[in-house]
């Protein structure tokens, strides 16, 4: 294989540029030609494919976002649209593709592999919902961003004796809330994987926190948790007089996605990018790079996208212990 392409797809996150740089430079060093695809699968469909040289990926390691652009491209689920995409790759003589993205993007990669187009995936999503890898590219930086916000909010919460509802991203996965709640010393963590507690139980928890003499009550709420942050806010406000604390809400939103990647994400992106390029050039397909016990390994893409990554039992136990 002598000509490969790379695309970034789905939600952006820190460390995508490290992946692009590593795939490009590793493949160039092996004598291959490398092509970048703009805006994820949309660029394949629109034939927005251009050649990448080593200098094109210089100076990007410390930048958030993705120099290739990214997109959600729902029409890619349609086989006719994917055939158009493959025709564009074939016209340029491109023989293999590296897909960098979340569980949705990697599902697209499985389908391309099943259409006999050599494809390797790199897990990159702030949600850390991709199974079969300990962590995805972008998660570490996002957690640090969330923690900085939580620490700041705690200053205000303690100064004013307030209960704060802090909503974090994660789509249907509670990992960001759980991990940042643990590291941020939250009083309560609400994740979609664990149903409940009821609004009444949450109010009781706030009262208990006050009675125990704490100066604040920080609650980390995953965006996928039901009935949702606003429902908790409304309920707590309806019982404001009994709580002891004033109630405030902060939805962290898109602050969590951008920004300079951490050392960990730059390194993980570089390791996974280099491994992905080597695998593709040596003829592998349908595999995803994964971090397991500190080592980069390969797992079948189809297995990685079969289910969302379950929350770690050990992490859950640790949260209980710290209560």
CB of 139 closer than 8 Å to CB of 259: no
CA angle, 68 then 130 then 315, to 5°: 130
The interface region with ligand F6P, picked from 24-32, 93-101, 108-116, 124-132 by CB under 6 A, is 124-132
127 is catalytic: yes
Would you count residue 105 as binding ligand ADP (CB under 6 A)? Answer: yes
- CB nearer to ligand F6P: pick between 102 and 118: 102
Q: Which two tokens stand for residue 181?
A: 């709640």
Question: Which of ligand F6P, Mg ion, ligand ADP, none sits in contact with 279, Cβ below 5 to 8 A by type?
Answer: none
CB of 139 closer than 8 Å to CB of 221: no
- CB nearer to ligand ADP: pick between 271 and 309: 309
Burial (CB count within 10 angstroms: exposed 0-12, middle 13-18, buried 19+), residue 72: middle
CA R_g for the chain? 22
Which of 42, 103, 256, 287: binder of Mg ion (CB under 5 A)? Answer: 103
Angstrom distances, CA of residue 76 to CA of 54, 67, 159, 286: 30, 21, 51, 18
How far is the C-alpha of 164 from the C-alpha of 217, rounded, in Å? 6
Cα-based torsion angle of the residue sequence 200, 206, 211, 212 in order, rounded to the nearest 10 degrees = 120
Nearest CA-CA partner of 214 in 244, 189, 241 = 244
- CB nearer to Mg ion: pick between 86 and 302: 302
Residue ranges in 30-59 that form contacts with ligand ADP under rule CB under 6 A: 41
Residue ranges in 135-174 that form contacts with Mg ion under rule CB under 5 A: none
Would you count residue 141 as binding ligand ADP (CB under 6 A)? Answer: no
Residue ranges in 59-98 that form contacts with ligand F6P under rule CB under 6 A: 72
Residue at token pair 């949702």: 228
Strands (E), the chain: 3-9, 33-37, 49-52, 96-101, 119-123, 162-168, 188-190, 217-222, 246-251, 287-292, 295-300
Site string for ligand ADP, 278-317 (x = CB under 6 A): ----------------------------------------
Among 127, 129, 140, 265, the active-site one is: 127
Site string for ligand ADP, 65-104 (x = CB under 6 A): -------xxx-xx-----------------------xxxx
- CB nearer to ligand ADP: pick between 138 and 181: 138
Which of 11, 43, 69, 224: binder of ligand ADP (CB under 6 A)? Answer: 11
Which of 88, 154, 171, 266: binder of ligand F6P (CB under 6 A)? Answer: 171
Number of residue whose CB is nearest ligand ADP: 104
- CB nearer to ligand F6P: pick between 169 and 276: 169
Polymer length of the chain: 323
Q: What DSSP letter does each residue of 13-47 carry, written as one string?
A: -TTHHHHHHHHHHHHHHTT-EEEEETTTHHHHHTT
- CB nearer to ligand ADP: pick between 11 and 224: 11
Question: Which of ligand F6P, ligand ADP, Mg ion, none sits in contact with 70, Cβ below 5 to 8 A by type?
Answer: none
Active-site amino acid positions: 127
């Amino acid at each position: 294989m002598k000509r490969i392409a790379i695309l970034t797809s789905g939600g952006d996150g820190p460390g995508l540029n490290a992946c692009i740089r590593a795939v490009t430079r590793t493949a160039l060093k092996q004598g291959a030609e490398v092509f970048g695809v703009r805006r994820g699968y949309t660029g394949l469909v629109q034939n927005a494919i251009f050649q990448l040289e080593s200098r094109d990926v210089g100076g990007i390691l410390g930048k958030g976002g993705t120099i290739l652009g990214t997109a959600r491209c729902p029409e890619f689920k349609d086989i006719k649209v994917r055939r158009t995409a493959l025709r564009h790759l074939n016209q340029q003589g491109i023989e293999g593709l590296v897909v960098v993205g979340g569980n949705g993007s990697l599902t697209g990669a499985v389908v391309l592999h099943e259409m006999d187009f050599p494809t390797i995936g790199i897990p990159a999503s702030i949600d850390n919902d991709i199974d079969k890898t300990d962590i995805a590219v972008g998660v570490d930086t996002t957690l640090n961003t969330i923690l900085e916000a939580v620490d700041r909010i705690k200053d205000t919460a303690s100064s004013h004796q307030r209960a704060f509802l802090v909503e974090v991203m994660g789509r249907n996965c509670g990992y960001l809330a759980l991990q940042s709640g643990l590291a941020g010393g939250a009083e309560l963590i609400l994740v979609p994987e664990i149903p409940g507690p009821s609004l009444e139980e949450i109010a009781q928890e706030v009262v208990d926190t006050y009675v125990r003499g704490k100066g604040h009550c920080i609650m980390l709420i995953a965006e996928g948790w039901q009935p949702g942050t606003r429902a908790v806010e409304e309920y707590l406000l309806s019982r404001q007089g009994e709580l002891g604390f004033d109630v405030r809400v902060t939805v962290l939103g898109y602050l969590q996605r951008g920004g300079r990647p951490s050392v960990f994400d730059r390194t993980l992106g570089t390791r996974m990018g280099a491994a992905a390029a080597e695998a593709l050039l040596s003829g592998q397909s349908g595999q995803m790079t994964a971090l397991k016990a500190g080592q980069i390994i390969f797992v079948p893409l189809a297995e990685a996208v079969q289910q969302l990554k379950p929350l770690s039992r050990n992490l859950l136990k640790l949260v209980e212990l710290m209560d």
